[in-house]
Structure 1
Amino acid sequence: MSRGKVLVVGSNATRIEIQGGGTGPTGQYLNELVVPVMALIEAGYDIVFATPNGSKPFIDPVSDQAVHFGNDEAAHKRAQDFFASHPAMNAVITLRAVIDGGLDQYLAFFTPGGQAPVVDLMQDSELGEILRHFHAHEKPTAYLCHGPMASLAAMPHAREFRAALIAGDNAKAAELARGWQYAGYRMTVYSSSEERPIEDNILHGKLYFHMPEALNIAGAEVDTGPDFAPHVIEDRELITGQNPRSDEPIAKALIAALVRAPVDA
């Protein structure tokens, strides 16, 4: 018997803006999506997978490597097969369909990383509506790596906030962030120092903003741990993990939060 539904929201972005014009490749990280989802299913939860346009996310090739699975080739293959063929990964619906179907049915929320959520999810108005529901009802809400940037969609002027960050107008961004539901929350996110190798070797350019800076401007209390070491922070209903190596710890934390949550949450 199912223990209830968890909403997993992915990104449809495949490119991200870099300074000076142009874009670099991006996507979702395979392990960050699959490892927590597999753990949730094993724990007895049903997964509803949604993206803005209802199509499967693009997996960043950088993440599709055994190194992100402890150099375990078999674990990597299981993850590839799960993403390719498991019904939970293929019955993707739109965010609008999630809203229209009723948000009360979901016990918890999860968004994985890769830089993709920084492009679309952090400024998606439909995601904002979803997140405001989860916040108001204090339902466990988890984000991994770059995923915490999606939480910014809950603010009243998310699109304008992102535009101000790209323009380098941090004062305007801070003003636009007023009313953000997660202001004052402790959280973690992919650090600036972890980002630099991606900028240098993958994007071949600099992002317009780094994740801790953006969340701090919005009002979060950001705490990043050592680079590429597991790091998870829980504050009230919010659960955040810093980087790809936080995939298993955030899954455990989310499942524990679900077990603790009231039945009628």
Structure 2
Amino acid sequence: MTKGKVLVVGSNATRIEVQGGWGNTGQYLNETVVPAMAILAAGYEIVLATPQGTKPHIDPASDSSQHFGGDEVAYAAAKAFWAEHPAMNAVRSLRSVIEEGLESYAGIFVPGGQAPVVDLMQDADLGTILRHAHGQAKPTALLCHGPIAITAAMDQAPAFRASLIVGDKAKARDLAKGWPYAGYRMTVFSASEEKVVEDHILHAKMHFDMPSALEAAGGEVITNSTDFAPHVVEDRELITGQNPASDHQIAARFVAALNRHLATA
């Protein structure tokens, strides 16, 4: 017996629009595996689901021991978990999860890497899942670029994203009216952290940064002034982490929230 099921929502994106073309992207290894292992260790079952029902692509930029504090043993364990653990390989589609029923899920976790900026933030099925979790006050945790995925809960998420890409923030704000997370305190990968990725990994500029996007949606965005230092913000059922270094902190806060929710269910 487990305490309950947790939905881990992955992305299927491998490329992201940048100014002047496309860049490679994916999901971050540590941001996925560290919380997933903590959720399992706390006695919960994991269901990994993506829009297409296929396993996410790991961004090569994250495939390094540096994201595990230089601990080669932890890095090797994470790679083995991602490659071999049944929970990481029995991937479902978001649609199939909805059709089976969302009531049995105790909470939702969305890891980062830039991939969620491509598909998850405008995915209609994820929007259905998020609105369910919000309505039931189920713990919902998102890490790094992952928090941008909560814009999927808008009625017109694809149009909102398109407005951000062309720089029409006024239209984006109008499209965001009625967003369930308006007024929530949250964090996300900062603009200054994004510039490091743009300069050293993408070698191109993004069309928009994450804090301004969530602010246009109606969120109260709080980022740490120290780049790449752990930072987690919790407001009601929503738990957000700013960057890859926040992986252990958000895992602990999410598990605690799951346990609290279970105790009051």
State the TM-score bracket (shorter-chain normalisation). over 0.9
- The within-5 A match list for 1:211-250 is 211-225=210-224, 226-250=226-250
Please state how far the C-alpha of 1:157 moved relative to its aligned partner: 0.4
Say yes or no: does 1:53 pair with 2:52: yes
Please state how far the C-alpha of 1:204 moved relative to its aligned partner: 1.2
Aligned length: 264
In structure 2, the partner of 1:14 is 14
Q: Is the 8 A contact 2:106 2:262 kept in 1?
A: no
Say yes or no: does 1:253 pair with 2:253: yes
Gaps of 5+ in 2: none
- The within-5 A match list for 1:133-148 is 133-148=132-147
Say yes or no: does 1:152 pair with 2:151: yes
In structure 2, the partner of 1:81 is 80
Same amino acid, percent of matched pairs:
66
Q: Secondary structure at the match of 1:175?
A: helix
Rounded Cα–Cα distance in structure 2 between residues aligned with 1:262 and 1:57: 29
Rounded Cα–Cα distance in structure 1 between residues aligned with 2:154 and 2:135: 13
- Normalised by the length of structure 2, the TM-score is 0.98
Rounded Cα–Cα distance in structure 2 between residues aligned with 1:126 and 1:263: 28
Say yes or no: does 1:191 pair with 2:190: yes
- The within-5 A match list for 1:25-174 is 25-174=24-173
Deviation above 3 Å: which 4+ runs of structure 1? Answer: 262-265
Please state how far the C-alpha of 1:264 moved relative to its aligned partner: 6.8
- Normalised by the length of structure 1, the TM-score is 0.98
Q: 2:231 corresponds to which letter in structure 1?
A: H
In structure 2, the partner of 1:5 is 5
Show CA shifts across 1:194-234 (max 9, x none). 01111112111100000000000100000001210000000
Q: Secondary structure at the match of 1:261?
A: helix
Please state how far the C-alpha of 1:262 moved relative to its aligned partner: 4.3
Gaps of 5+ in 1: none
Show CA shifts across 1:54-111 (max 9, x none). 1110000110100000100010000000000100000000000010010000000000
Rounded Cα–Cα distance in structure 2 between residues aligned with 1:196 and 1:258: 34
Rounded Cα–Cα distance in structure 1 between residues aligned with 2:22 and 2:264: 44
Q: 1:215 corresponds to which letter in structure 2?
A: L
**Backbone CA RMSD of aligned residues:** 0.8
Rounded Cα–Cα distance in structure 1 between residues aligned with 2:201 and 2:110: 23
Rounded Cα–Cα distance in structure 2 between residues aligned with 1:224 and 1:255: 22
Q: 2:85 corresponds to which letter in structure 1?
A: H
Q: Secondary structure at the match of 2:88?
A: helix
Rounded Cα–Cα distance in structure 1 between residues aligned with 2:9 and 2:111: 8
